[in-house]
Amino acid sequence: MKSHVWRPLFVVLVIIALVLVARKFLVPADFGIGARGYMYGWHRAGNEQQWKDMKVKYKTAAFCKDCHPDKYDEMKESPHRNINCENCHGPALNHPDDPKSLTIDRSRELCARCHTRLPYPNSGRGVMKGIDPKTHNVGLDCVTCHWPHDPRKEGHKK
Amino acid sequence: MISRRSFCKKSLLIAGGLAIPLSCLELFDPKRLLAEKDQKGPRWVFLVDTRKCVGCGFCVKGCKVENEVPYDANVTRTWVERYVVTSDGKTHIDSPKGARDGFPNKGIDIGHGKLEEIKDDDIDKAFFVPKLCNQCDNPPCVQVCPVGATYQTADGVVLVDRSWCIGCGYCIMGCPYGVRFFHPVFHVAEKCNFCYHRITKGMQTACVDSCAFGARRVGNLRDPEDPVTKIIMTERVNVLKEEYGTKPQVFYLGLSKEVK
CA A55/CA B85 separation, integer angstroms: 41
Tens of pLDDT, residue by residue over A86-111, are 999 999 999 989 888 899 999 999 99
ipTM of the prediction? 0.88
- Sign, CA torsion B91/B94/B99/B102: negative
Q: What is the CATH number of domain B44-136+192-253?
A: 3.30.70.20
Taking residues B34-59, what's their average pLDDT? 87
CA B102/CA A115 separation, integer angstroms: 10
Please check the confidence at residue B176 and state whether its pLDDT lies above 90.
yes
Nearest CA among B177, B253, B259 for reference residue B215: B253
Give B37's pLDDT tier (boundaries 50, 70, 90).
low
- Please judge whether A51 and B196 are an interchain contact, meaning their C-beta atoms are less than 8 angstroms apart: yes
A97 to chain B, any CB pair closer than 8 A? The answer is no
Cis peptide before A99 (omega within 30 of 0): yes
Fold topology of B140-190:
Alpha-Beta Plaits (3.30.70)
CA A69/CA A75 separation, integer angstroms: 10
Taking residues B144-154, what's their average pLDDT? 95
Please check the confidence at residue B5 and state whether its pLDDT lies above 80.
yes
Taking residues A19-26, what's their average pLDDT? 93
Please check the confidence at residue A36 and state whether its pLDDT lies above 60.
yes
Report chain A residues whose CB lies below 8 A from the CB of B205.
none
Element (H, E) at A32: strand A31-33
Per-domain boundaries in chain B: 44-136+192-253, 140-190
**Across chain B, what does the average pLDDT equal?**
93
Distance of CA A103 to the CA centre of its chain: 17
Q: Is residue A20 part of a domain?
A: no
Number of independent structural domains in chain A: 1
Interface test with A, best of B52, B58, B121, B216 (most A CBs within 10 A): B58
Q: Partners of B206 in the beta sheet?
A: none
CA B104/CA A113 separation, integer angstroms: 6
Tens of pLDDT, residue by residue over A45-95, are 999 999 999 999 999 999 999 999 999 999 999 999 999 999 999 999 999
Q: Is residue A84 part of a domain?
A: yes
Domain that holds residue A115: 60-144
3-state secondary structure of A108: helix
- DSSP letter string, A117-150: ----TTSGGGGS--B-TTTSSTTS-GGGTB-TTS
**Which residues in chain A (31-60) have CB-CB distances under 8 A to chain B?**
31, 34-36, 39-44, 47-48, 51-58, 60
Q: Is residue A83 part of a domain?
A: yes
CA A44/CA B75 separation, integer angstroms: 26
CA B246/CA B139 separation, integer angstroms: 6
State which residue of chain A sits closest to B201, comparing Cα positions.
Answer: A52
Residue A97 class from Cβ within 10 Å (0-12 exposed, 13-18 middle, 19+ buried)?
exposed
Residue A49, amino acid: Q
Taking residues B226-255, what's their average pLDDT? 95
Taking residues B137-150, what's their average pLDDT? 95
Q: Is residue A157 part of a domain?
A: no
Q: Please give the backbone phi and psi of residue B9, each rounded to the nearest 5 degrees, phi first.
A: -60, -50
Q: Is residue A133 part of a domain?
A: yes
The closest CB to that of B212, out of A44, A56, A83, belongs to A83
How would you classify the pairing of strands B250-253 and B44-49? parallel
Q: Is-same-fold flag (B44-136+192-253; B140-190)?
A: yes
A88 versus A3: the higher-pLDDT residue is A88
Q: Residue A131: its pLDDT value, please?
A: 93
Taking residues B171-176, what's their average pLDDT? 96
A112 to chain B, any CB pair closer than 8 A? The answer is yes
CA B162/CA B141 separation, integer angstroms: 15
Please check the confidence at residue A158 and state whether its pLDDT lies above 60.
no
| Cα dist from B137 to A36, B42, B186, whole Å | 10, 14, 27
